[in-house]
Amino acid sequence: KDSSLTRNFCIIAHIDHGKSTLADRFIEKAKLGVTRGPAQSQILDNMDIERERGITIKSQAVTIPYTAKDGKTYELNLVDTPGHVDFSYEVSRAISSCEGALLLVDASQGVEAQTIANLYMAVEHNLTVIPVINKIDLASADIPACLHQIDHDLGLDTDLTVQVSAKTGVGVDELFESIVTNIEPPQGSDAAPLQALIFDSHYDAYRGVIVHCRVVEGVMKVGDEITFMHSDASYKLEEVGIFQLGLVKTGELHYGDVGYCVAGVKTISDIRVGDTITSVINPAKSPLPGFKDVKPVVFSSIYPVDTNDYEELNDAIERLKLNDASLIYEKDSSAALGFGFRCGFLGMLHLEVVQERIEREFNLSIVFTSPSVSYIVHMRNGDVLHIDNPLTYPEPMQVEYAEEPYIRANVITPTQYVGPIITLCMEKRGVQTGMNYLDEKRVELVYDMPLAEVLFDFYDRLKSISRGYASFDYEVNGYKKTDLVRMDILVNGEPVDALSQLVFRGNSQKRGRQVCSRLVGEIPRQQFKIAIQAAIGGTIVSRETINAYRKDVTAKCYGGDIGRKRKLLDKQKEGKKRMKMVGNVEIPQGAFLAVLKSD
Ligand code: GDP
Ligand code: MG
């Protein structure tokens, strides 16, 4: 196999700059035999949720044959990267599977926070970066401004820049040629011991776990005995192949190739993104660099609305885990909600995706408890605890002090929104560590902020303050001392443990009021008065009341129409199923997450 004809590249871009659309054009031009209807979304984004939200969650890959102007047929491997800050480690592994990157810039938006964050990552991995200005068909396209930013903000060569419209296909042929000429072929040797980098995995009902990998050194063949070096688990390769809008068996992959392998892996936790596959008979001396054990940053418990659904929820979570190694979970129980699972997520988006998948794919009604970050609690007796569940927070008397995780937040905004954004960051306990004018129009703000403050509504508020123009990127960068209290929520005097949360003392009054007034909006009136209280220790910090009311849904259809009456009653029953009984009070499923959003 002639690896000099292989090119491995990824497309990096800020969300909505056209990555998936461009990937589509590539696949179409490469005549892999797809035509897509006008309503159908991008080919590389598989999951429904990705489609609806227009973001890529799982990275994908596709091998595109391309006959260049020099008459040779090249094998272009496009590795798609996830498009959300929750998944930046996955992005880094996808990037390190490539020799080159296309850096997409929307001609009407210019460079944004994630464009820069992704560029840093590509440069760090020594990729050749080809700047691409996309959406040149738009009337609002400002190509000179983009060229200026590419040169001035990104420090990239404007001569290398290709101008395209992923929508119309203009410029895509030039881009193919540029990939072939400017991105280097992979270096390596078939004779070297096997080293293949895992950049993703997914679950297939027939084949089991499909490992997505880039072979860096050596050859991977069906029948070989292989080891996952970090997991230290060995398997026999059952199938090896490449991605082409489906899996195409090739029997082997050589150094430089991107493809998949199947090895009868039953334990999904053996497959870790960033791990190295090597051969048992002729093992590599060391794994490839850059492996990181990804740690979840947000924790929440999931409970079935109907306690009889516990086993089904167990199945659902096990099946999701097959597709999503970054989801971690263990059994949990709550006085208010019964048996459930404590789960760890990479971020709030990850949590929401899991929620939607459980509801849609498994048709289960579930409740999430207050998401929490993981705190480090230093005890008077010298013990150090990691606590992410409000229910396991020790008695305040026993606590010496607590620390909370901080992030380094990077915001890029047009200058006119700087004032309100600074106010927002201060409200979120942020400390400014940098402010750079990128050019006359745009400012980059850098803040140290508690992770807990940005989890819930920071991003939404940033977008609304800036009319969508500010962009945001972050990384977790350590722990700082904090003043933490546990706030409990009482409904008619009964603590609803699922609504307890750990909060910064300075925010507790405000948060207590918010939760109580939100609950009032979420809990329908019942036949008796309901008191809702927020308490810290024995002190009530906020109180609201829901007055009694009997809801008679059939009152509207005077007599006659039995069919209609029945329908309404069924509907009400359906609504009941999505309620959770707490003591004698029905709380709707939606209430549990809704109360956490602050304004
Ligand atoms: P991604 O988030 O980077 O994957 O972006 P998408 O490929 O999903 O594109 C975001 C939006 O921009 C979609 O509505 C696309 O139809 C649109 N879009 C992408 N490329 C072009 C282009 O070249 N011209 C125009 N006018 N719209 C585009
Ligand atoms: Mg996309």
Report which bound ligand comes closest to the CA of 22: 1
pLDDT at 54 over 80: no
Average of pLDDT values for 164-190?
A: 96
**CA 556 to the chain's CA centroid:** 45
Expressed in angstroms, the distance from the first to the final Cα of the chain is: 59
Phi, psi for residue 258 in degrees, rounded to 5? -115, 130
Q: How crowded is residue 398: how many other Cβ atoms within 10 Å of its Cβ?
A: 11
Query: Is 434 labelled a binding residue?
Result: no
Q: 300 forms bridges with which residues in the sheet?
A: 343
d(C-alpha 239, C-alpha 251), whole Å: 6
pLDDT in tens, 492-504: 888 888 889 999 9
Contacts of residue 22, defined as CB under 8 A and 6 or more positions apart, other chains included, come to: 11, 102, 104, 132, 134, 164, 166, 172
Q: Report the interhelical angle of 418-427 vs 458-465 (nearest 10°).
A: 160
Helix and strand totals (H; E) in the chain: 14, 33
pLDDT in tens, 66-82: 999 999 999 999 998 77
d(C-alpha 474, C-alpha 254), whole Å: 36
Number of residues that this document lists for the chain: 599
pLDDT band at 566 (very low <50, low <70, confident <90, very high): low
Q: Which is the closest atom of ligand 1 to the Cα of 165?
A: 23
Q: Report the interhelical angle of 172-182 vs 19-29 (nearest 10°).
A: 90
Ligand 1 pocket mutation, candidates 21, 133, 162, criterion most atoms within 8 A of CB: 21
Average of pLDDT values for 149-162?
A: 93
pLDDT at 38 over 50: no
Average of pLDDT values for 41-58?
A: 58
Q: Whose CA is nearest to atom 9 of ligand 1?
A: 18
Give the helix/strand (H/E) hosting 386. strand 384-387
Query: Is 135 labelled a binding residue?
Result: yes
- Contact status, residue 141 vs residue 135, Cβ threshold 8 Å: yes
**Residue 467, pLDDT score:** 82
- Contact status, residue 472 vs residue 445, Cβ threshold 8 Å: no
Amino acid at 436: N
Query: Is 134 labelled a binding residue?
Result: yes
DSSP 87: G
**Residue 280, pLDDT score:** 96
Work out the percent of the chain whose per-residue pLDDT is above 90.
51
Give the helix/strand (H/E) hosting 106. strand 100-106
- Contact status, residue 181 vs residue 152, Cβ threshold 8 Å: no
Only one residue has tokens 């008796």, namely 528
Q: What is the DSSP string of 294-340?
A: ----EEEEEEESSGGGHHHHHHHHHHHHHH-TT-EEEEEEETTTEEE
Range with the poorest average pLDDT among 21-30, 147-156, 214-223, 231-240: 21-30
Q: Which range, 242-246, 255-259, 551-555, 564-568, has the best average confidence (pLDDT)?
A: 255-259
pLDDT band at 597 (very low <50, low <70, confident <90, very high): low
Q: Which residues of 116-175 form beta strands (DSSP E)? A: 128-134, 162-163
pLDDT at 599 over 90: no
Average of pLDDT values for 536-546?
A: 90
* Cβ burial, residue 460 (10 Å; 0-12/13-18/19+): exposed
Tokens linked to 72: 């040779």
**Residue 571, pLDDT score:** 55
In 3-state terms, the chain is what percent helix, strand and coil (to 5)?
Answer: 30, 35, 35
pLDDT in tens, 290-344: 898 877 888 999 988 888 899 999 999 988 887 777 888 999 988 777 899 999 9
Pocket of ligand 1 (CB under 6 A): 13, 15-21, 42, 54, 83, 134-135, 137-138, 165-167
d(C-alpha 292, C-alpha 428), whole Å: 29
**Residue 531, pLDDT score:** 92
pLDDT in tens, 456-489: 778 888 988 988 778 888 888 899 999 999 999 9
d(C-alpha 390, C-alpha 596), whole Å: 14
**Residue 366, pLDDT score:** 87
Q: What is the DSSP string of 339-364?
A: EEEEEEESSHHHHHHHHHHHHHHS--
Average of pLDDT values for 93-108?
A: 94
Q: 252 forms bridges with which residues in the sheet?
A: 221
d(C-alpha 464, C-alpha 520), whole Å: 26
Query: Is 547 labelled a binding residue?
Result: no
Average of pLDDT values for 97-104?
A: 96
pLDDT band at 49 (very low <50, low <70, confident <90, very high): low
d(C-alpha 489, C-alpha 513), whole Å: 11
Measure 42 CA to ligand 1 centroid, in angstroms.
Answer: 10
- Contact status, residue 108 vs residue 141, Cβ threshold 8 Å: yes
**Residue 284, pLDDT score:** 96
Contacts of residue 72, defined as CB under 8 A and 6 or more positions apart, other chains included, come to: 5
Contacts of residue 360, defined as CB under 8 A and 6 or more positions apart, other chains included, come to: 48, 49
**Residue 415, pLDDT score:** 93
Measure 99 CA to ligand 2 centroid, in angstroms.
Answer: 21
- Contact status, residue 14 vs residue 114, Cβ threshold 8 Å: yes
The answer to whether the pTM exceeds 0.95 is no
**CA 583 to the chain's CA centroid:** 36
Average of pLDDT values for 569-592?
A: 66
Tokens linked to 144: 């000179």
Measure 153 CA to ligand 1 centroid, in angstroms.
Answer: 23
pLDDT in tens, 329-365: 999 988 777 899 999 998 887 888 888 889 888 889 8
Average pLDDT of the residues of the chain: 86
Query: Is 72 labelled a binding residue?
Result: no
**Residue 39, pLDDT score:** 39
pLDDT in tens, 380-413: 999 999 999 998 999 999 999 999 999 999 998 9
